[in-house]
């Protein structure tokens, strides 16, 4: 059995193991007031209504600008379906899976686009808490184009600290959803590659940063993050100095959420920019949330 097929089987086993471990999960956001699929199906089967599984499904769109081998600028309009599932294994320790299905299959589609992202770790939304874990946003594909084991080595480990600034009504706290959340973080990547996920460019990459999300009112938010690379040689053309986004997000079940995020190649004016990226290259999502 080759490494790629072996890795695929491991991922499938993990997914089924998560289903088996779901009995140890606890409530999302520690709130049992939201409706779940149990209220729809009127059944107690399969951990329905126990706040162990949540996620979203919907559609996405973004424009990807890149250079062909002939140095010709190409714009590929990516759009399709996105399905996300989060399972709590124990308390706030979670497995997160995200699947993408592209509808635009024309010849300009980049070969490195991922069909599948995954993450595992302790994700705690509460004030003055740590989160830590492993996340992988490499070109994970089901067509065998990339080796799954190699991609696993190229994910990153992270640790972050979450704290909230608004604790009393008035001022910037307009309603119960209003909040300013600041999250300093550190990331470590054992191995990193070129954009195509082929040539290994280096090892032991560190990234420091801080993100800020301001939920203004009625779950409408704006957010941004800044990044610092101690080793300048490890900073790649698509690595951002900053990211930004906005949207409407309500974690409760059966809500329609709209978001925009721009996460690559944004550079401060005083830094060189080697890759084209502007507002039109951000990602729009329209997602329907659920709690199992």
Burial category of 159 from C-beta neighbours within 10 Å (exposed 0-12, middle 13-18, buried 19 and up): middle
Contact partners, residue 160, CB within 8 Å, separation at least 6: 130, 131, 132, 183, 184, 185, 186
Determine, yes or no, domain membership for 170.
yes
pLDDT value at residue 38:
67
Cα–Cα dist 251/82, whole Å: 17
Determine, yes or no, domain membership for 167.
yes
Cα–Cα dist 77/265, whole Å: 18
Blockwise average pLDDT, block size 10, the chain, 292 residues: 46 34 36 66 69 92 89 94 95 96 94 93 96 95 86 95 88 91 98 79 96 96 98 92 97 92 95 90 96 82
Determine, yes or no, domain membership for 23.
no
Cα–Cα dist 63/265, whole Å: 14
Enclosing domain of residue 215: 55-80+101-112+121-291
Determine, yes or no, domain membership for 192.
yes
- Report the domain count for the chain: 1
Q: DSSP 3-state assignment of 11?
A: helix
pLDDT value at residue 2:
53
Helix spans in 22-121 (H):
37-41
pLDDT value at residue 245:
98
Between the alpha carbon of residue 69 and those of residues 91, 175, 181, 237, the distances in Å are 48, 52, 42, 16
pLDDT value at residue 28:
41
Determine, yes or no, domain membership for 228.
yes
Determine, yes or no, domain membership for 73.
yes
Determine, yes or no, domain membership for 16.
no
Sign of CA dihedral 212, 214, 219, 222: negative
pTM over the 0.75 mark: yes
Cα–Cα dist 51/43, whole Å: 14
Determine, yes or no, domain membership for 212.
yes
């Amino acid at each position: 059995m080759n490494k790629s097929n072996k890795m695929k089987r491991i991922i499938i086993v993990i997914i089924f193991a998560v289903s088996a471990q779901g009995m140890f999960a606890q409530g999302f956001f520690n709130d049992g007031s939201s409706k779940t699929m149990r209220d729809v199906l009127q059944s107690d089967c399969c951990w329905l209504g126990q706040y162990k599984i949540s996620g979203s499904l919907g559609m996405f769109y973004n424009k990807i600008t890149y250079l062909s081998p002939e140095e010709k600028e190409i714009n590929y309009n990516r759009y399709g379906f996105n399905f996300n599932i989060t399972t709590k294994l124990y308390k706030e320790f979670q497995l997160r899976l995200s699947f993408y299905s592209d509808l635009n299959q024309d010849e300009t589609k980049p070969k490195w686009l991922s069909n599948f992202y995954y993450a595992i770790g302790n994700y705690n939304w509460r004030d003055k808490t740590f989160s830590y874990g492993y996340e992988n946003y490499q070109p994970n594909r089901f067509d065998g184009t990339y080796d799954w084991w190699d991609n696993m080595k190229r994910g990153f480990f992270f640790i972050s600290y979450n704290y909230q600034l608004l604790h009393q009504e008035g001022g910037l706290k307009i309603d119960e959803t209003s909040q300013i959340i600041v999250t300093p973080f550190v990331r470590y990547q054992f191995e990193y590659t070129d954009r195509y996920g082929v040539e290994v460019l280096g090892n032991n990459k560190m990234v420091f940063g801080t993100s800020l999300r301001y939920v203004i009112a009625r779950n409408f938010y704006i957010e941004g993050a800044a990044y610092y690379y101690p080793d300048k040689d490890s900073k790649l053309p698509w690595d951002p100095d900053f990211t930004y986004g906005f949207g409407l997000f309500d974690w409760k079940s059966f809500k329609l959420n709209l978001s925009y995020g721009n996460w690559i190649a944004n550079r401060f004016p005083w830094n060189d920019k080697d890759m084209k990226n502007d507002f039109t290259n951000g990602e729009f999502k329209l997602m329907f949330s659920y709690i199992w």
